[in-house]
Amino acid sequence: MIGDLIVSTPQNVQGTYNHVLVTGPTTGGAGVATLTGPLTVMAGLTVQDGGTLVTSCQPLSGPGTFTLASGATLGICDAAGISITGPTGAVQLAGTRSFSPDASYVYNGLGPQLTGSGLPSQARNLTTTNANDVTLTSPLTVAQVVTVGGTGDLVLNGLPFTLPSGPGGTALVVNVGSGVVRGTTGTMQRYLDPSTNPGRGYRHYSSPVAGSTVASLATPGFAPEISQANAYNVSATPGTITPFPTVFGYDQSRLATISSAYSAFDKGFFVPTALATPLAVGRGYAVNISAAEVVSFTGQFTTGDQVLALDRNTTTTAEADEAGWHLVGNPYPAPLDFALFDSADRLNLDASCYVVESAGPYAGAYRAYINGVGGSSLIGSSQGFFVRVSEGQTSGMLTFHNRQRLTSFGPQVAVRRTTADTRPLVQLELQAPTGTTDNFYAYAEAGATVGFDAQYDARKLSNSTGLNLASTTGAGARLAIDGRPAFAATTVLPLTIDVPAAGNYTLTASTLRNLPLGLSAYLTDAATGQTINLSRKPTYSFTVTASQASALLVERFSLRFGLVGTLANSTATPAAEIELYPNPAHGSFTVGLPPGLGTTVAQVELLNNMGQVVHRQAVHLSAGGTRFVMTTTGLATGIYSLRLQSGTTLVRRVVLE
């Protein structure tokens, strides 16, 4: 009598059975059936979701049926691959053969292979581990992961081969061995997340294939507009060009040669002059396109090392302080993790990267990342991003490697540090009345300094939303991510805020992590005199008037650290009631204090941008108000904080010239 076989664990299989069932984790156990000899099936063989059948070049025959269910995996050793009917291929059961379009197929033959007529037009995953070529015999869409794991190529054979993209994720290619996906008919799609802007907006693309052109950006609902490229590229008022272009590259050398009404950074954007202009591998392009559009790139998928030579204008050229930026891009059909770029991969470059997130037709925010701090380190396939050649350099190189690529499908978790991050960190979020946000990060790590460090700090790229939060160094550099050697009771980070309009705004400490024992983070508002312990009250609301919104708020806010309970205060006396003039000051300045401070003696301190007290004096207060002069002779120019302690703590910013 012929029996049945249930495989619920890894098991070698051969012989003759009536029914063969390979179960999955949810139906009996993770079964893996590996053929070690001929297998004859009289009634039916089913591989369930999560189960695996490895044919190992052994005969699989008999009058029964074959079912490879959704989520199952089939290992294919036969040179002919798999066939839907007939006595050929890895599965030769005479009954009906069903190969699910949501199953995974592994071609692991010992010689050249064809995929075969049994391979559906879509598969969940496709893997080759063959040392020889595996050739496609019909068009194929792979929903999740294509893995080329051997020395042989996956040959497209002139047939369409598609990596789709949608809300559930974007398919990717994993190159493990020396084999590649060979052929120019590979297509990678790029879906756009509409959560922050479902309509038109600037998205930064990068082609994952060789051979794409500007025309490749076209979709059924979008046509690249570059007809006025020549006019735009030399115009003193490019914002007035009509029709306004929708595709831009970036060339930092333009900052030295172009005179226009645009900001120095924005002068770098240029318009390609023809639809046939190639989309250079490793370069990024800004495209004003709706989130509803899915762009497709068709050509030879990029793999292996890709090296970009980048330049920076010399210090004697116009706008030299803003030079060195480059819109580069992920060259691979897979996500990148910028945390996996080492110093040799970004020679003479700042260690930071910047990814734009669209918020409106002409509004967006840059997500900065450096040294494990900031937004996500992940850069999606077909995604452009900014990097910068460091100050003092005129050239640099950015090198892409396969080892920087991610190899799993779906929501990605950034690989940053192999151990728990013990560094002290504060994340502040600025939120506008419209819900738009911007983030600032301060962290402490040995090796960082109070000035700008290309390996620890990320410059602030201004958001076109008009909402910007940054710290300011003593040299005036604005930072999106500020690394310090340590947080101490004297550490003060002056903050700069830019808002698009008058209104009510909030600052929230969304992360307070690993602060030194006994130390708290405080937010000081010099305009109201409030100093808030962020661990006790993480959100602070404030108002900006129309006149204040017209310029950067450079003296109002600061992030400071102090012993628990020593800095927080009430709002009895707004700091705005303290007179301070002239400001900026040279040599000295006068301070006027209002009456009613509640004490007869005030301690007055002047702190530099590192939080160090550079001058201290006691001031006797009179009932009707007090004026006194602070001498600043011998102090370096820069931004200082005047701190008055008289029962409460009041802070005003003063600039010394």
The pLDDT of residue 618: 86
Closest C-alpha to 267, from 279, 289, 250: 250
Tokens of 81: 């691959």
C-beta neighbour count of 628 within 10 angstroms: 14
Bridge partners (DSSP) of residue 532 are 523
Q: Measure the CA angle with vertex 19, ends 16 and 23; round to 5°.
A: 115
User: Where in 312-376 does DSSP place strands (E)?
Assistant: 325-329, 336-337, 346-347, 353-360, 363-370, 373-374
d(CA 53, CA 55): 6
CA torsion through residues 54, 55, 58, 61, sign: positive
Query: Tell me, what DSSP letter sits at residue 233?
Result: H
Please give the full DSSP string across 51-120, using - where no structure is assigned.
Answer: -EEE-TT--EESSSEEEE-TT-EEEE-STT---SSSS-SS---SS-EEE-TTSEEEE--SS-EE--TTS-
The pLDDT of residue 413: 42
The pLDDT of residue 5: 98
Closest C-alpha to 53, from 83, 32, 77: 32
Please give the full DSSP string across 310-330, using - where no structure is assigned.
Answer: EE---TTSTTGGG--EEEEE-
d(CA 128, CA 146): 8
Which residues contact residue 634 at a Cβ distance below 8 angstroms, ignoring those fewer than 6 apart? none
Tell me how far CA of residue 442 lies from CA of 471, 522, 537, 598, 611, in angstroms.
9, 13, 18, 35, 15
Tokens of 493: 């980070």
Bridge partners (DSSP) of residue 174 are 147
The answer to whether the beta carbons of residues 341 and 436 sit under 8 Å apart is: no
The pLDDT of residue 570: 38
The answer to whether the beta carbons of residues 512 and 487 sit under 8 Å apart is: no
Closest C-alpha to 308, from 252, 256, 366, 268: 252
Q: pLDDT by residue (tens digit) across 613-628?
A: 888 888 888 877 788 8
Which residues contact residue 214 at a Cβ distance below 8 angstroms, ignoring those fewer than 6 apart? 224, 226, 247, 272, 274, 275, 276, 277, 279, 285
Phi, psi for 73 (deg, rounded to 5): -130, 135
Enumerate residue ranges in the chain where pLDDT < 50: 413-418, 570-573
Tokens of 342: 């080492």
Tell me how far CA of residue 527 lies from CA of 422, 542, 609, in angstroms.
34, 10, 18
User: Where in 212-272 does DSSP place strands (E)?
Assistant: 247-250, 269-270
Closest C-alpha to 186, from 300, 17, 286, 46: 300
Domains identified in the chain and CATH numbers: 5-159 (no CATH), 190-413 (no CATH), 422-567 (no CATH), 579-656 (2.60.40.1930)
Question: The pTM is what?
Answer: 0.84
Query: Tell me, what DSSP letter sits at residue 622?
Result: -
The pLDDT of residue 577: 62
Phi, psi for 5 (deg, rounded to 5): -135, 130
Q: pLDDT by residue (tens digit) across 85-127?
A: 999 999 999 999 999 999 999 999 999 999 999 999 999 999 9
Phi, psi for 479 (deg, rounded to 5): -120, 135
3-state helix/strand/coil string of 175-216: ECCCCCEECCCEEEEECCCCCCCCCEEEEEECCCEECCEHHH
Query: Tell me, what DSSP letter sits at residue 623?
Result: T
Please give the full DSSP string across 267-294, using - where no structure is assigned.
Answer: GGEE--S-TT-B--TTB-EEEEEETT--
Tokens of 102: 């949501």
